[in-house]
C-alpha cells in the first residue's frame, strides 16, 4: 500500500522530468540518423564528416546533464532560449547542409572543407564552454519556482510612470521621423528617413535622429509597463485579459519594429514579457509555448521578407534581377552556419592573430556616440565585413562571436567567453526568479535574452542594446523602485 502510494505521488513528476530527456534525445538521434544515412549513401556528410561532431556532443549533453535539457517549469526562460539557439546551430543547420547543401549567403566563395571542419569544432567548443559556465553557477541544482505574495511585490507601475514613458517615446518618435507622413511611409516603404542606417544608401542622420535613439525605446517600455501592470492586477474575465494582451503585444511589435525592422529588437521584448508572465502570472503549457513559438517564427520570417523587399526597392535592386535568398540560405546565414566562421578563419592570416582583446574593446565602444567613432574602423564587425565585401563596402553582416574570440585569444578564448555566457545566463535566470517586482523581472529577462543571443551575434550588438535599450529600461526600473521606497516610507511614518 505504502509503495503504491509513493509511486502514485512521484509518478506524474517522474513522467514530467522524462519529457525533456526524450525530446532532447529524439532531436539529436534523428539528426544523427540523417548524418549516418548521408555517410552510407556517399552524401554531403562523406565530404564533411565533422558535421556529426556537434550532433554527438549535443546528444551527450542531453543524456548526461539535466540542466542542459528543456526547462518545463519556465518554458519561456533564457535558458531555453539558449538551448533553442544551440539546437539551431548544432543540429538544424548541419542537417540542412546534409539535405540541401551549404548556403553561401553574402560570401563570394565558400571556404575549403578543412576550414569548415575547423569551424564546426570551434562551434562545438563554444557549446562546451557554455555548459561549463552554466554548471559552475548552478552546480547542477534546479531553482524552485518562487512565490510572489506580498501586496508591495504585486503593486503595479504607476500611471504617471506609464504616461511619462509614452510621452518621452513620442518625442523620440517625432525626432526620428519628423512628421506623421514619414511615420506612415516607414510602414509602406515611402519614407525618406526610414532606412538611413543603411550605409550604402548614402543618407546621413540628423542631430534629432541621433537623440531619438535614446528616447524612442521609451515607447516600447510604455507598453511593457502596461503589460507588467496587467500581470500584477490579474484582471478578471478571459475577454479582458485577451484584449489587454493583444494591445501589449501589438504595441510592442509596432514600437520595437521602428528600428529598421530589426528582428532581434522585435523578438526580445516578446520573449521577455512572455517569460515575465510565465514567472509571475500563469505557468504556460507546452502547447501554448509551441503555438506561440510557431507564430513568432512566422512573424520573424515575414518581417524579414518585408524588410529585404523594402531595402531592395530603396537601393534599386528589385529591378536588377536580384533574387531573394532561399529559406535554406536565410536559416544558415542568421543561424551562423559553419561556412561563415570557416570563411573568417580562411581569410585571416595566422600572423594577424592573436589580437589580445583589441577588437573586443573596439566592438564594445563603437556604438557609443562621438567616443565610439574612432573605434568603429577597428571593430570586429568592420573587419569581418571588409573580408566579405572589401574595405569600404557594406556593413550588414554580424561577425560570429566564436570568430571574434578566436581572433583575440584563440580556442581557449572561445571556451572562456562562452563559459562567461553560460555563467551569465545561470545567474540572470536565478535573479529573475527572485526579483521583487514584475518590472524588475522583465528587465532581468530582457537583458538575459540578449546575453543568450550572443550564441549568434557579436559583442557589438550586446553593447548597442545595453546602451540604447538597456539604459532607458534601467532608468524606468530605478524610478519605479524609488516610488515604492517612498510609498513604504510614508506607510512607516503613518504607523
User: Which tens digit of pLDDT belongs to each residue from 85-103?
Assistant: 999 999 999 999 999 999 9
C-alpha to C-alpha distance for 117 and 128, rounded to whole angstroms: 17
pLDDT score at 327: 83
* % of residues, the chain, pLDDT over 90: 50
Set of cell numbers at residue 26: 529524439
- pLDDT of 110 strictly over 90: yes
Q: Lowest-pLDDT range, 5-9, 125-129, 143-147, 296-300? A: 5-9
Using CB atoms within 10 Å of the CB of residue 319, give its burial: 0 to 12 exposed, 13 to 18 middle, 19+ buried.
exposed
C-alpha to C-alpha distance for 367 and 370, rounded to whole angstroms: 9
φ, ψ dihedrals at 124, nearest 5° = -65, -40
- Is residue 436 within 8 Å of residue 146, measured between CB atoms? no
pLDDT score at 16: 58
Whole-model pTM above 0.85?
yes
pLDDT score at 190: 65
Q: Render pLDDT for 436-494 as a digit per residue (tens, 0 to 9).
A: 889 999 999 999 999 999 999 999 999 999 999 999 999 999 999 888 877 665 555 55
C-alpha to C-alpha distance for 139 and 131, rounded to whole angstroms: 11
- Is residue 428 within 8 Å of residue 451, measured between CB atoms? yes
Residue with cell 507622413: 181
pLDDT score at 195: 52
Residue with cell 560570401: 107
At a CB cut-off of 8 Å and minimum separation 6, what does 213 contact?
172, 468
pLDDT score at 83: 96
Residues 257-280: what's their mean pLDDT?
86
For the chain, the average pLDDT equals 84
* % of residues, the chain, pLDDT over 70: 82
> Angle CA(200)–CA(206)–CA(209) in degrees, nearest 5?
95
φ, ψ dihedrals at 43, nearest 5° = -85, -155
Residues 164-191: what's their mean pLDDT?
85
Set of cell numbers at residue 164: 511619462
Q: Render pLDDT for 35-61 as a digit per residue (tens, 0 to 9).
A: 999 999 999 999 999 999 999 999 999
Using CB atoms within 10 Å of the CB of residue 40, give its burial: 0 to 12 exposed, 13 to 18 middle, 19+ buried.
exposed
Using CB atoms within 10 Å of the CB of residue 424, give its burial: 0 to 12 exposed, 13 to 18 middle, 19+ buried.
buried
pLDDT score at 474: 95
Residues 250-279: what's their mean pLDDT?
86
3-state SS class at 400: coil
Q: Lowest-pLDDT range, 190-194, 361-365, 429-433? A: 190-194
Long-range Cβ contacts of 161-164 (<8 Å, 24+ apart) = 161/225, 161/476, 161/479, 161/480, 161/483, 162/222, 162/225, 162/226, 162/229
> Angle CA(86)–CA(463)–CA(261) in degrees, nearest 5?
75
pLDDT score at 6: 43
Q: What is the dihedral of CA 322, 323, 327, 333, to 10 degrees?
A: -20
Q: Render pLDDT for 178-194 as a digit per residue (tens, 0 to 9).
A: 888 888 877 776 666 65
Residues 145-166: what's their mean pLDDT?
72
Q: Lowest-pLDDT range, 35-44, 287-296, 327-336? A: 287-296
- Is residue 385 within 8 Å of residue 393, measured between CB atoms? yes
CA distances to 123, 348, 407, 456, 460 from 384, in Å? 17, 10, 11, 15, 12
pLDDT band at 262 (very low <50, low <70, confident <90, very high): confident
pLDDT score at 319: 44
Q: How many residues does the chain have?
A: 495
DSSP sequence for 180-226: HHHHHHHHHT--SSTTTT-GGGT----HHHHHHHHHTHHHHHHHHHH
Residues 7-12: what's their mean pLDDT?
46
Long-range Cβ contacts of 469-474 (<8 Å, 24+ apart) = 469/217, 469/265, 470/446, 471/214, 472/214, 472/215, 472/217, 472/218, 472/221, 473/217, 473/221, 473/224, 473/443, 473/446, 474/443
- pLDDT of 117 strictly over 50: yes
Residues 247-259: what's their mean pLDDT?
86
C-alpha to C-alpha distance for 433 and 133, rounded to whole angstroms: 19
pLDDT score at 65: 94
What's the per-residue H, E or C state across 294-347?
Answer: HHHHHHHHHHHHHHHHHHHHHHCCCCCCCCCCCHHHHHHHHCCCHHHHHHHHHH
CA distances to 95, 109, 303, 345 from 296, in Å? 22, 32, 10, 33
ω into residue 354 within 30 of 0, thus cis?
Answer: yes
Amino acid at each position: 500500500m505504502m509503495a503504491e502510494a509513493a509511486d502514485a505521488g512521484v509518478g506524474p513528476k517522474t513522467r514530467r522530468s522524462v519529457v525533456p530527456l526524450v525530446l532532447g534525445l529524439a532531436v539529436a538521434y534523428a539528426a544523427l540518423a540523417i548524418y549516418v544515412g548521408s555517410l552510407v549513401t556517399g552524401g554531403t556528410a562523406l565530404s564533411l564528416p565533422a558535421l556529426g561532431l556537434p550532433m554527438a556532443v549535443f546528444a551527450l549533453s542531453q543524456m548526461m546533464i539535466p540542466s542542459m535539457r528543456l526547462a518545463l517549469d519556465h518554458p519561456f526562460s533564457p535558458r531555453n532560449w539558449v538551448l533553442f539557439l544551440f539546437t539551431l546551430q548544432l543540429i538544424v543547420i548541419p542537417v540542412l547542409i546534409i539535405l540541401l547543401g551549404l548556403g553561401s549567403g553574402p560570401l563570394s566563395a565558400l571556404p575549403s572543407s578543412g576550414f569548415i571542419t575547423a569551424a564546426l569544432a570551434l562551434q562545438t567548443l563554444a557549446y562546451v564552454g557554455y555548459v561549463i559556465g552554466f554548471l559552475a553557477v548552478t552546480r547542477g541544482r534546479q531553482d524552485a519556482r518562487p512565490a510572489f505574495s506580498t501586496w508591495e511585490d504585486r503593486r503595479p507601475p504607476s500611471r504617471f510612470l506609464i504616461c511619462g514613458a509614452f510621452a518621452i517615446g513620442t518625442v523620440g518618435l517625432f525626432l526620428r521621423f519628423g512628421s506623421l507622413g514619414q511615420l506612415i511611409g516607414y510602414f509602406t516603404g515611402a519614407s525618406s528617413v526610414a532606412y538611413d542606417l543603411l550605409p550604402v544608401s548614402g543618407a546621413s542622420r540628423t542631430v534629432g535622429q541621433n537623440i531619438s535613439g535614446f528616447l524612442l525605446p521609451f515607447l516600447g517600455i510604455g507598453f511593457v509597463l502596461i503589460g507588467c501592470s496587467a500581470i500584477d492586477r490579474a484582471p478578471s474575465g478571459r475577454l479582458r485579459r485577451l484584449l489587454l494582451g493583444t494591445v501589449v503585444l501589438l504595441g510592442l511589435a509596432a514600437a520595437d519594429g521602428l528600428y529598421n525592422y530589426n528582428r532581434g529588437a522585435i523578438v526580445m521584448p516578446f520573449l521577455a514579457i512572455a517569460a515575465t508572465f510565465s514567472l509571475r502570472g500563469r505557468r504556460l503549457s507546452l502547447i501554448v509555448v509551441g503555438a506561440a513559438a510557431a507564430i513568432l517564427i512566422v512573424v520573424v520570417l515575414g518581417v524579414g521578407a518585408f524588410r529585404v523587399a523594402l531595402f531592395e526597392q530603396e537601393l534599386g535592386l528589385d529591378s536588377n534581377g536580384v533574387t531573394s535568398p532561399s529559406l535554406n540560405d536565410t536559416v544558415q546565414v542568421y543561424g551562423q552556419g559553419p561556412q561563415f566562421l570557416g570563411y573568417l578563419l580562411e581569410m585571416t592570416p595566422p600572423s594577424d592573430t592573436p589580437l589580445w582583446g583589441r577588437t573586443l574593446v573596439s566592438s564594445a565602444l563603437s556604438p557609443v556616440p562621438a567616443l565610439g567613432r574612432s573605434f568603429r574602423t577597428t571593430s570586429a564587425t568592420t573587419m569581418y565585413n571588409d573580408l566579405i565585401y572589401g574595405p569600404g563596402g557594406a556593413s550588414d553582416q554580424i561577425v560570429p562571436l566564436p570568430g571574434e574570440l578566436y581572433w583575440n585569444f584563440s580556442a581557449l578564448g572561445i571556451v572562456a567567453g562562452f563559459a562567461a555566457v553560460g555563467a551569465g545566463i545561470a545567474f540572470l535566470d536565478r535573479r529573475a526568479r527572485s526579483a521583487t517586482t514584475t518590472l524588475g523581472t522583465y528587465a532581468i529577462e530582457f537583458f538575459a535574452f540578449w546575453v543568450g543571443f550572443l550564441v549568434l551575434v557579436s559583442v557589438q550588438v550586446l553593447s548597442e542594446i545595453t546602451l540604447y535599450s538597456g539604459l532607458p529600461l534601467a532608468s524606468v526600473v530605478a524610478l519605479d523602485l524609488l516610488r515604492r521606497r517612498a510609498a513604504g516610507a510614508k506607510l512607516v511614518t503613518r504607523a
